[in-house]
């Protein structure tokens, strides 16, 4: 018998990568204001934070007005607007630099969960297609995929900032299915959010795995849509399940 899936689709943060950020740190906004001042855009730290939050909301409202359910934005446009509001024009390279600085200053840590690399290696060794479908910003995430060693295992990457739509929108899942020429039945989605990941995958007919990790909502209702649930978030246990179920062997378990 053929194995049940040809493609494994992962969420990223809270699933493969453990992360903690704090965008309320006063020193973040003080140093970011200094960066803007170096380019001729003068803000007090508190004013810069307020303007940033206002621009984020404005960009989200713009997408909502276009009829987008679960909208997302490109954070680079927010940083650009903060410059243009001060009558300063900057290059795309400068925008990438300010985004990188913002992320580094807000980041406490980002690292693969125990067993994440081993799981990816096993999937790759069995010729399974590995895709990423994440609610994330390209300006932040591509650096972190490289730094954590995740990037080489991914066959394709889908980030919500590129499409201006987030999980659990069926439209976002269907973008991936269409571009990869896949049917939902041949895909297994793995994620740590019971709504964005599990309800989202179920909404387009995909099987899914729910991982309860330190990044998951603490109290979750009964999860009925997932094929498997790992309330300990153990990726090593998930690897054992996928092996027993024939996802890696190529055969269904007896």
What are the pLDDT digits (tens) for 55-97?
A: 999 999 999 999 999 999 999 999 999 999 999 999 999 999 9
Tokens of 161: 């900032």
pLDDT at residue 224 in the model: 78
User: Average pLDDT, stretch 191-219?
Assistant: 96
Sign of CA dihedral 189, 194, 200, 205: positive
Taking phi over 0 as left and psi of -120 to 50 as alpha, with beta for the rest, 247 belongs to alpha
pLDDT at residue 223 in the model: 79
pLDDT at residue 135 in the model: 98
What are the pLDDT digits (tens) for 220-254?
A: 888 778 999 999 999 999 999 999 999 987 544 44
**CA distance between the termini of the chain:** 11
| Model pTM score | 0.95
């Amino acid at each position: 018998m053929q194995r049940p899936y040809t493609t494994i689709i992962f969420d990223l943060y809270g699933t493969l990568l453990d992360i903690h950020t704090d965008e309320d740190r006063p020193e973040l906004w003080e140093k970011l204001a200094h960066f803007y001042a170096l380019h001729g855009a003068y803000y007090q730290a508190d004013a810069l934070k307020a303007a940033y939050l206002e621009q984020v909301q404005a960009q989200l409202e713009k997408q909502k007005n276009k009829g987008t359910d679960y909208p997302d934005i490109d954070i680079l446009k927010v940083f650009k607007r903060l410059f243009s509001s001060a009558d300063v024009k900057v290059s795309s390279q400068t925008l990438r630099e300010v985004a990188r600085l913002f992320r580094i200053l807000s980041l406490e840590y980002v690292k693969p969960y125990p067993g994440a690399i081993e799981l990816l290696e096993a999937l790759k060794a069995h010729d399974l297609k590995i895709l990423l479908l994440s609610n994330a910003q390209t300006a932040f995430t591509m650096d972190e995929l490289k730094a954590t060693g995740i990037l080489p295992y991914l066959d394709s990457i889908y980030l919500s900032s590129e499409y201006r739509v987030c999980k659990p929108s069926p439209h976002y899942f269907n973008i991936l299915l269409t571009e990869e020429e896949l049917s939902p039945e041949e895909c297994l989605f793995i994620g740590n959010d019971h709504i964005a990941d599990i309800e989202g995958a179920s909404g387009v007919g995909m099987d899914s795995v729910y991982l309860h990790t330190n990044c998951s909502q603490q109290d979750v209702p009964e999860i009925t849509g997932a094929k498997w649930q790992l309330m300990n978030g153990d990726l090593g246990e998930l690897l054992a399940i996928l092996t027993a179920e024939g996802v890696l062997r190529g055969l269904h378990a007896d």
